[in-house]
Amino acid sequence: MSQVQEGSFLTLHYRMSGPGGQVIINTFDGQPATLSLGTGELSPAIEQHLMGLEEGTQTVIELEPGEAFGDRQPDMVQWVARKLLNELGDPHEQYKEGDVVQFPTPDGLGSYAGAAIEVREDGAVLFDFNHPLAGQPVTFEVQLIGVL
């Protein structure tokens, strides 16, 4: 049987849920996911828990608060000026609390998400750039279909 190791290519179903059982990602209802270990598709903590598992394994991994996506970082909560939001996106966009907005990375190659927490009268928006599950316990249920 193939075992998960550094650089393995996996075909798997997984369900990730946060505290209170709210499901974040669930592939069991559709096509299985395919991903390579070590490419950042899964958090390093989750990858560590998958190491050594055999093809065909179905298991539930309980991750401690902050283990899956790190602790909440207060400095990741930042005001973004309306002028900058206009340059990065749609100048007519009306932002409101709870909106999740994608921002380009400084190199322009990727993006990261921020959740709007507060909107000021001048149009500036307070965004939380922490992962929604930062500092939270995470349940990761996995069914390993194939390991290459």
Residue 90, pLDDT > 90, answer no
pLDDT band, residue 41 (cuts 50/70/90): confident
Question: What does the block give as tokens for 138?
Answer: 């995470």
Residue 42: what pLDDT? 87
Convert the pLDDT of each residue in 93-141 to its tens digit: 999 999 999 988 888 888 889 999 999 999 999 999 998 899 999 999 9
Q: What pLDDT shows up at residue 110?
A: 84
Could you tell me where the beta strands, DSSP code E, fall in 32-137?
33-36, 58-63, 77-80, 100-104, 111-119, 125-128
Kindly report which listed range (9-13, 20-24, 79-83) carries the lowest average pLDDT score: 20-24
Region 33-40: mean pLDDT is 93
> Rounded to 5 degrees, what angle do the CA atoms 18, 32, 132 make?
25
Per-residue pLDDT, averaged over 46-60, amounts to 96
- Residues of the chain with pLDDT > 70: what percent? 100
